[in-house]
Amino acid sequence: MDRLITVANDSQIPDSYRGTPLEELLRYHNLDAPLIPVPAPRILIGMCMDNRKHLHIPDNFAYILRTGGGNLRHSEFKVSYAIGVGGIQTVALLGHTHCGMTNLMDQREAFITGLMENAGWDREWAEHHFMNFAPMFEIHNEIDFVLSEAKRLRMRYPKVQVAPLLYRVEDNLLYPLRED
């Protein structure tokens, strides 16, 4: 957790975020800045589908893609749409603590049993489904994954500012990540 940058006041917002939608995001969410209406999205936020996370931002402020683990690898067309059509030049990637996609293989039996009981699947189909998709979506460490995904997206979209952040479920705050 030594890679987290605390933002509890304006002076702690990283210099590279100043004057960008990232500064606004941190002011809205962490510092309870008044929610000023915006006419169009200013940022793309990629975050997990986890129900414990809620962002304090104005309406229309962001395109938001919610995927397991905040993994945008299989949502690139949507990212490209936000950039190409929506004019977005800033992406915030939000990993979060206690993510269910972390060590997904440990949840194999619960996943399979849940599909059998809740969806009516037979065991063989549920096992096949899990084994085909779990390797694509499993992340081993929330911080390392967000940092690597930010690096990947920067290579793919070199003119777009991509910022890795961590949402701590424990305090519901956003933490920029050190990348050194």
Place 71 in a pLDDT band, splitting at 50, 70 and 90.
Answer: confident
Q: What pLDDT does 176 receive?
A: 98
Q: Which domains does the chain have, with CATH numbers?
A: 10-102+140-176 (3.40.1050.10), 103-138 (no CATH)
**pLDDT for res 78:** 96
How distant is the alpha carbon of residue 112 from its chain centre?
26
Model confidence over 41-53: pLDDT tens digits?
999 999 988 888 8
Q: How far apart, in whole angstroms, are the C-alpha atoms of residue 139 and residue 164?
A: 15
Question: Is 146 in contact with 164 (CB distance < 8 Å)?
Answer: yes
Whether residue 132 contacts residue 138, with contact meaning beta carbons closer than 8 Å, is answered with no
Q: What pLDDT shows up at residue 161?
A: 98
From the number of C-beta atoms within 10 Å of its C-beta (0-12, 13-18, 19+), residue 25 rates as buried
Place of tokens 């070199």: 158
Encoded amino acid at 131, one letter: M
Higher pLDDT, 173 or 54: 173
Q: Does position 1 have pLDDT exceeding 90, yes or no?
A: no
Instruction: Name the DSSP class of 61.
Output: S
Residue 81: band (very low, low, confident or very high) from pLDDT cuts 50, 70, 90: very high
In tens, the pLDDT along 142-177 reads 999 999 999 999 999 999 999 999 999 999 999 999
The CA distance from 3 to 68, in Å, is 22
* Region of residue 87 (left: phi > 0; alpha: psi -120 to 50; beta: else): left
pLDDT in tens, 87-139: 999 999 999 988 888 888 999 999 999 999 999 999 999 999 999 999 888 88
CB of 99 closer than 8 Å to CB of 172:
no
> Of the candidates 32, 30, 46, which has an alpha carbon nearest to the alpha carbon of residue 163?
46
